[in-house]
Amino acid sequence: MLIRSKAPLRISFAGGGTDVRPFFDEEGGYVLNATINRHAWGSLRTRSDKRIRIESVDFGFSIDLDAQAQMVYDGKLDLVKAAIQNLCGQDSEGFDLFLQSDAPPGSGLGSSSTLMVTLVGLLREFKNLPLTDYETSGLAYSIEREHMGIKGGMQDQYAATFGGFNFIEFYRDHVVVNPLRISQDIINELEHNLLLCYTGQTRASDHIIDDQIQRYHQQNEETLSGLRHQKQLAVEMKRALLQRRLNEFGALLHSAWEYKKKMSARISNPRIDEMYAVALEQGAMGGKITGAGGGGYMLFYCKFDKKHRVAEALAKLGGIPNGVTFDPHGLQTWRVDET
């Protein structure tokens, strides 16, 4: 039996950081995001010898395990082991697992959490588990954030599972995913005007999240202001999209970046500041880091006749600019007949 799965990566427009505990437990969080045509991919092929082989293209190595033995967390694909333990238990059939993402960990596109959703989808299909999209998202979050203790938010798991443009609400005991009916001409215009640029460096988000959480516990005024304005900007950007006010959307993206930087001094750095300033000089209307900060991808909204100038200027600084294409589909899993 051969099972495949894929889930889309995402770009976050506003609200990132309000999906991190304890903020949304106490004040609620709002995030506006959309999935793009880059994916995490997975394949699972059953085998009869009670062995599990995991190959990760992103980390460049593979490991072999006994399907009937207790998982040992030793720093080698521990997230994958945790998913297998949670969904398959200790006495599982054997299988070969192959995993790959279109963006590296630390890219700011939610690649690690999206890969977890892809993996949960594979194992859900393998074990014939009747999990809803909400349950799949919640399980992926629980394995990554609670079981393994990896710091981060909650938006990525829900974005990857549901797909499309979503306004997501986070509360202490539940999550609400609101799919947005964005007209195709607005989607086309966004694809014309949006520019993704890889900064040339990935980042570990843990220390940024830790700093944000610590500042929140200390009731730091700048951090509180940044988080609360992120919530409001997510609402305003949603309205701008639904009401077809894209110039306002670009300006709000700039505001989202200004308030995001207030959440932690570690979100930006001199390289990111320079790239942002140059992009604005060349005609970008607004932009922001797409993840926790410190590196990864930046997103810019440009007038289409200025976008090539922005891209050229960023490339001269060592950035890698790319266009944006949206994917309306979330997690997909299917079986392949090899006969």
Write down the domain spans for the chain: 2-181+327-336, 184-322
Of the listed ranges 85-89, 200-204, 274-278, 329-333, the least confidently predicted one is: 200-204
State the angle between helix axes of 155-162 and 111-126 in degrees (0 to 180), rounded to the nearest 10.
Answer: 50
What would the two tokens of residue 218 be? 């200390």
Three-state secondary-structure class, residue 14 = strand
Task: Give the pLDDT band of residue 294 (cuts 50, 70, 90).
Answer: confident
Of the listed ranges 203-207, 295-299, 301-305, the least confidently predicted one is: 203-207
What would the two tokens of residue 106 be? 């630390």
Give the tens place of pLDDT for each residue, 198-214: 998 766 555 788 888 88
Average pLDDT, rounded, for the chain: 93
Q: Is residue 70 over pLDDT 60?
A: yes
Residue 301 buriedness (CB in 10 A; 0-12 / 13-18 / 19+):
buried
pLDDT in the model for residue 293: 78
Task: Give the pLDDT band of residue 267 (cuts 50, 70, 90).
Answer: confident
Q: Which residues are catalytic?
A: 156
- As a three-state string, the secondary structure of 58-112 is CCCEEEEEECCCCCCCCCCCHHHHHHHHHHHCCCCCEEEEEEEECCCCCCCCCHH
Q: How much is the average pLDDT of 222-237? A: 94
- Superfamily of the domain at 184-322: GHMP kinase, C-terminal domain (3.30.70.890)
Q: How much is the average pLDDT of 32-37? A: 98
* Predicted TM-score of the model (pTM): 0.94
Length in residues, the chain: 339
pLDDT in the model for residue 203: 61
HSE (CB half, 13 Å, CA atoms) of 31? 30
Give the tens place of pLDDT for each residue, 158-199: 999 999 999 999 999 999 999 999 999 999 999 999 999 999
What would the two tokens of residue 90 be? 């200790």
249 vs 203, residue with greater confidence: 249
Of the listed ranges 13-22, 89-98, 278-287, the least confidently predicted one is: 89-98
pLDDT in the model for residue 298: 94
pLDDT in the model for residue 206: 56
Q: Is residue 338 over pLDDT 70?
A: yes
Q: How much is the average pLDDT of 7-28? A: 95
Q: Is residue 256 over pLDDT 70?
A: yes
CA distances to 46, 82, 97, 323 from 49, in Å: 9, 21, 14, 45
User: DSSP string spanning 197-225?
Assistant: EE-S-----HHHHHHHHHHHHTT-HHHHH
Tell me whether the CATH fold assigned to 2-181+327-336 matches the one assigned to 184-322: no
8 vs 292, residue with greater confidence: 8
Task: Give the pLDDT band of residue 128 (cuts 50, 70, 90).
Answer: very high
Q: What is the CATH number of domain 2-181+327-336?
A: 3.30.230.10
Q: How much is the average pLDDT of 9-18? A: 95
Q: Is residue 339 over pLDDT 80?
A: no
Q: How much is the average pLDDT of 229-236? A: 96
